[in-house]
Amino acid sequence: MQQHYDYIITGAGCAGLSLLRRMMAHSFFSNKKILVIDKEQKNNNDRTWCFWEQQPGLFEEIVYHRWQQIDFYSDHFSARYDIAPYQYKMIRGIDLYSSVLDKARRFSNISILQENVRSVINNENYATVRTTTKKLSGDYLFNSIIFNNWKQEALQQKDVYALLQHFKGWMIETNKTAFDEHRATFMDFRISQDKGTAFVYVLPVAKNKALVEHTLFSENILEQHEYDAMLQDYIYSTLNIEKYTIIHAEYGVIPMTNYNFPKGDGRLINIGTAGGQTKASSGYTFRFIQKHSERIINALVHGKDPLHMQSILDKRFHLYDGILLNVLQNKKMGGDKIFAQLFKKNAPQTILKFLDNETNFREELKIMNSVSLSTFLPATIRQIFK
């Protein structure tokens, strides 16, 4: 007889652990059998999440660093901003994994299984997961693993774009003061745009220590040595740092696509990037995961279906994302020029609000009026009538 749980979470990444953290904080789940499955031990600092908030969030106690000033650089426009009431925050992967999983191990109703997930399936009244050695079922299954070849499917659909945001970052340490730890470089486009929209961000966590990350929007990823060369050049040429030690490196690839990731089916609910919680036009994911997790918890507590369909608001921002991807993939205008126009003509708080899908229509009209009408109008018409 297969083991049955109230809730199963497949994937102990940001989405799965954010949901689990909220379950542990609510008395409704204290007598529910919960299972978390992941093939990894989650004991490596394999990624960093950066995001902005106006208020303390669920993971406030593990925020590694925060900034209230940001710099924007491009060959077309540059500026320094105070982003209050927002704070730009950094959370390290290892801190999120440790804080949630260590606490979960103290709950008798929560089990953690380290195995590879082979498949997840919805049934009429429950969902099933197959691992390497087990078949398990749950009243609800929350899945953050992408099983399908989303890019191949996207490319077969009309007016669906399939770019990738790929990045490599180094946490470097110098033997002398090199950074202002109170100010972050949000985007620096003053680098080659030959391979696609590219920028570097610099996140100082001390006067001699910072995360320097190169990000590229393109259809294909690069060889590792190419990222290394670009990071070396930026650190030497732009930051004017000759001697440093790399104390940590991270690499990742995020979908930048208006492909509709399946939200789930019945008792199977997709979360995280697998559930479409990565913003298509920017790659930002952390805050969207938090909002999605809150909606799921609220639905479960009130006996409602946690499989949420898109609201009109979600569809509106999905349209905006598609328009920008149309412009970028068809190379109608470089991303460096687009973001320069946005930052030149709008308050940074409005841009951050827009990137969080929280602006109202009036604010969105102002943002749309900031960019080239001749470039964006044809893309807008195409996306509306696709």
pLDDT category, 332, cuts 50, 70, 90? very high
The domain segmentation of the chain, as residue ranges, is: 3-67+88-146+261-301, 154-256, 312-384
Q: Which helix or strand (DSSP H or E) is residue 35 part of?
A: strand 34-38
pLDDT at 15 over 70: yes
pLDDT at 86 over 70: yes
What number is the average pLDDT over the span 120-124?
93
Please, which residues bridge with residue 235 across strands? none
Report phi then psi at 215, rounded to 5: -125, 140
- % of the chain exceeding 70 in pLDDT: 98
Q: What is the pLDDT of residue 106?
A: 97
Q: Topology of 3-67+88-146+261-301 in CATH?
A: FAD/NAD(P)-binding domain (3.50.50)
Q: What is the pLDDT of residue 310?
A: 63
Residue 158 one-letter amino acid: K
pLDDT at 308 over 80: no
Q: What is the pLDDT of residue 1?
A: 58
pLDDT tens digit string along 124-162? 899 999 999 999 999 999 999 999 899 999 989 988 999
pLDDT at 306 over 90: yes
Secondary structure of 266-317 in HEC code, one letter for each residue: CCEEECHHHHCCCCCCCCCCHHHHHHHHHHHHHHHHCCCCCCCCCCHHHHHH
What number is the average pLDDT over the span 65-89?
98
Mean of per-residue pLDDT scores for the chain: 95
Residue 189 one-letter amino acid: F
Q: What tokens appear for 368 in the block?
A: 């749309």
Choosing among 1.20.140.10, 3.40.710.10, 3.30.9.10, 3.30.420.10, the CATH entry for 154-256 is: 3.30.9.10
pLDDT category, 355, cuts 50, 70, 90? very high
pLDDT at 241 over 80: yes
- % of the chain exceeding 90 in pLDDT: 90
pLDDT category, 379, cuts 50, 70, 90? confident
Alpha carbon distance 299, 325 (integer Å) = 32
DSSP 84: T
pLDDT tens digit string along 251-287? 999 999 999 999 999 999 999 999 999 999 899 999 9
DSSP 28: G
What number is the average pLDDT over the span 369-380?
88
179: closest CA among 88, 240, 116, 109?
Answer: 240
Report phi then psi at 245, rounded to 5: -120, 135
What number is the average pLDDT over the span 220-224?
96
- 310 vs 175, more confident: 175
DSSP 182: T
pLDDT at 309 over 70: no
What number is the average pLDDT over the span 2-23?
97
